[in-house]
């Protein structure tokens, strides 16, 4: 019903604003947390997760080597305050709401993992009043995805089982505007301190406009108590 949709839209706006009140960089931590909470397991042992960010002309692309999302993971992302992580004592994102911070600057979010390929897309539903587009998945085939995104996702190492593309409402925020993503990511990943207390994150690489030499932070536990 329209009244229920309107409440959901207002709730999502409130969550997004409150979660990012302390700083715009919070959505980066939420993406890292998402990667941390789904490590791949081999013989019952959790494998450290590697993360890549790519800042292109129109997109921020995030991919990690954690496990493929299953149906429960997908359902949690397409919901609000899902309890999918509640019983997992090692999961940081127990509230199930942090992923919604990706909609702070973005009106298009594409997720590819395993057999799933879908997007949240404001433009697709903008003509429907009070539509909670942030939780309405739209199945998306490769022929509907920009080459700028596919070039990175298709050529990525096969270990990257989860891939997410974020398209800002205003592309200038990636490179040109004050407090742009280039500067934001350089500040956040100036040292490896940012990943010290995210237990299953092993390394983060940030590529800007296809640079061959990314910003890289990696855990070196012998340097820290």
pLDDT (0 to 100) of residue 95: 46
Return the exposure string of 70-101: e unless at least 16 CB atoms fall within 10 Å of the residue's CB, then b.
Answer: eeebbebbbeeebebbeeeeebbbbebbbbbb
pLDDT (0 to 100) of residue 20: 61
- Profile the chain (225 residues) by mean pLDDT over runs of 10 residues: 72 69 78 90 92 96 95 85 54 59 89 96 80 88 96 96 95 89 93 89 92 87 71
* Run of H or E including 110: strand 106-113
Nearest Cα to 101, choosing from 13, 207, 189? 13
pLDDT (0 to 100) of residue 205: 96
Give CA–CA dist 40/35, Å, rounded. Answer: 10
pTM recorded for the entire structure = 0.86
Structure tokens at 83: 């309890």
Give CA–CA dist 40/47, Å, rounded. Answer: 6
pLDDT (0 to 100) of residue 26: 83
Give CA–CA dist 96/106, Å, rounded. Answer: 19
pLDDT (0 to 100) of residue 78: 84
């Amino acid at each position: 019903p329209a009244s229920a949709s309107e409440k959901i839209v207002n709730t999502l706006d409130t969550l997004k604003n409150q979660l990012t009140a302390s700083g715009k960089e919070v959505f980066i931590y939420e993406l890292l947390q998402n990667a941390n909470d789904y490590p791949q397991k081999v013989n019952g042992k959790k494998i450290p997760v590697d993360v890549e960010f790519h800042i292109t002309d129109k997109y921020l692309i995030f991919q990690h080597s954690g496990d493929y999302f299953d149906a429960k993971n997908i359902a949690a992302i397409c919901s609000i305050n899902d309890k999918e992580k509640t019983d997992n004592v090692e999961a940081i994102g127990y509230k199930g709401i942090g992923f919604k911070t990706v909609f702070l600057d973005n009106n298009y979010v594409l997720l590819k993992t395993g057999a799933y390929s879908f997007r949240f897309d404001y433009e697709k539903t903008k003509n429907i009043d009070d539509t909670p587009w942030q939780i309405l998945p739209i199945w998306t085939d490769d022929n509907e995805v920009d080459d700028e995104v596919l070039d990175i996702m298709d050529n990525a190492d096969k270990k990257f089982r989860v891939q997410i593309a974020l398209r800002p409402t205003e592309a200038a925020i990636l490179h040109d505007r004050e407090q742009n993503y280039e500067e934001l990511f350089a500040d956040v990943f100036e040292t490896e301190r940012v990943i010290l207390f995210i237990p299953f994150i092993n390394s983060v690489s940030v590529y800007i406009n296809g640079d061959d030499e990314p910003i890289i932070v990696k855990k070196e536990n012998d340097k820290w108590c």
